[in-house]
Amino acid sequence: MRDTIHKKPGRSGGLFGATLGAAAAGATLVVMFWMPAEYGIDPTGVGGVLGLINMGEAKQRLEAEQNMGTDPMLAEVLARLDRIEALLTVDQPPVEEVDGWRDSFSYALAPGQGFEVKLTMEAGQVAGFEWQADGAVYVDMHGDSASQEHSYAIQDSSLADDGTLTAAFTGNHGWYWRNRTDQTVTVALQTRGDYGRMLHP
């Protein structure tokens, strides 16, 4: 007598449920992280908390410059990642001013490269600044937050600037420079006044 083995038919519901779960998880990642980081669109507000929306907005500015004939560089991508890391770090106590300046920073820009320095500021706070470059650079002085953007001044070609920056709203306010020459250009910035901290690459 031969034994007969009966197999129960497999259930397709488990695979279907897993597929739906994976699709939902993927959609969540796209909305919460990819859209803010790539396009500056933040429907959930998570991108603003994590600083991803700043990266998305910077990318949109770079793409706008691309349309005018400027090619992006790998160093800019790395600089954006460094800015996100700076935003996620714990606030440090203010540094005492030296020679009237509280913070100073310099950065060497390769041809075509751009970088950004921001000050965390509350609405109405005033910061003094002075910057110089040893070659002509494009500069955009602006502010941004999770819900607002404001442009203070844009110069297509400049070697230096100084003055005060009054925060139009609570957020990050500062400068974006791009070297549009075929030589390395160093930008040096000094700041003082009423702000939380300096964020830079």
With H, G, I as helix, E, B as strand and everything else as coil, classify residue 79: helix
Whose tokens are 């939380």? That residue is 196
Q: What is the pLDDT of the chain when averaged over all its residues?
A: 78
Cβ-contact 55, 37 below 8 angstroms: yes
pLDDT at position 115 over 80: yes
pLDDT in tens, 158-180: 999 999 999 999 999 999 999 99
pLDDT given for residue 76 in this prediction: 65
Q: Domains of the chain: which residue ranges?
A: 15-87, 103-199
pLDDT at position 119 over 50: yes
- Cα separation, 170 vs 160, in Å, equals 26
Q: Which residue has the higher pLDDT, 38 or 106?
A: 106
pLDDT at position 69 over 70: no
- Cα separation, 38 vs 24, in Å, equals 20
Fold of 103-199: Jelly Rolls (2.60.120)
pLDDT given for residue 15 in this prediction: 73
pLDDT at position 154 over 50: yes
